[in-house]
Amino acid sequence: MTLSTADARDRWLRATTAERAELGPRAVATCAEALGILADRLAERSYPVAEPLIPCSHLDDDLRQFADAGVTVPPALEALWRVAGNVCFVDLDRYRHVEFWRAVAGDGMPVPCCDGIVIDAPAQGGWTDYILDMLEDMGDDEPGPAIEIAPDDLHKDNVSGSGPYEILLPAPGDDPWLAVLDGFRWGAVRPPSAPPDPPDLVSYLRTAVLECGGFPGLFGDPRYASILAELVVDLPPF
């Protein structure tokens, strides 16, 4: 029997650490499959992001850099880098996606920030060096050392906002598969399958992909509803 998104959330969060370590790689691989389907469906609508998924061609070298610096990348993030690479469902160069969603609104009114999924990865030269420099500068600052993975929802739409979304590095004894996505907040309408705040990466992606169609900021907007239904139909659950 196929689990609902909410049931999959509960199974994941109620699992033991050992069970999550077994479930995690399969969940992330299925997530990458769903992201690929979403990317194809958006392309069919002429969505202005040419390469939503960019493979990490030298990932093992970058992971060695992290390891040499004493940084253990949370396993959900590493797994996503391996199977999906850099994920970016917004146009961070020219912000053409903003006009796309305004056209969807149809009445000329601005839409909420779409908050399209972005998960930065070492797909381009210099990114790992940048992150390691950031980690060195963080020191013991609260909420703790973290890997910056995305602009916040406002910056994604070229509006001044707050700090970036980050994956906190788990403390000793924490379940590394539950490393927290810090700084993220759901849009105006909280999806029914949303996990407790702050979410771990797998739980965030499950709701953001399977229930929000890749754009949590648009969830609940009636102007997005018909497109959303077409984006998420028959996506593989994880």
Structural domain includes residue 238: no
Residues linked to residue 88 through DSSP beta bridges, in sequence order:
118
* Separation of alpha carbons 126 and 18, rounded Å: 34
DSSP letter, residue 54: E
pTM here? 0.96
Please state the φ and ψ torsions of residue 123, each to the nearest 5 degrees. Answer: -95, -10
Structural domain includes residue 78: yes
- The amino acid at residue 153 is D
Give residue 181's pLDDT band: very low, low, confident or very high (50, 70, 90).
very high
Number of domains making up the chain:
1
Is the pLDDT score of 223 beyond 80?
Answer: yes
Structural domain includes residue 237: no
Report, as an integer, the average pLDDT of 80-107.
95
Structural domain includes residue 131: yes
Cβ atoms of 182 and 141 closer than 8 Å? no
Structural domain includes residue 219: yes
Cβ atoms of 197 and 122 closer than 8 Å? no
Is the pLDDT score of 139 beyond 70?
Answer: no
Strands (E), 35-88: 53-54, 86-88
* Separation of alpha carbons 192 and 136, rounded Å: 38
Environment class of 48 (CB within 10 Å of its CB; exposed 0-12, middle 13-18, buried 19+): middle
Q: Which domain holds residue 134?
A: 5-232
- How confident is the model at residue 107, as a pLDDT? 74
- How confident is the model at residue 140, as a pLDDT? 62
* Separation of alpha carbons 64 and 226, rounded Å: 45
| 11-20, 38-47, 105-114, 119-128: least confident range | 105-114
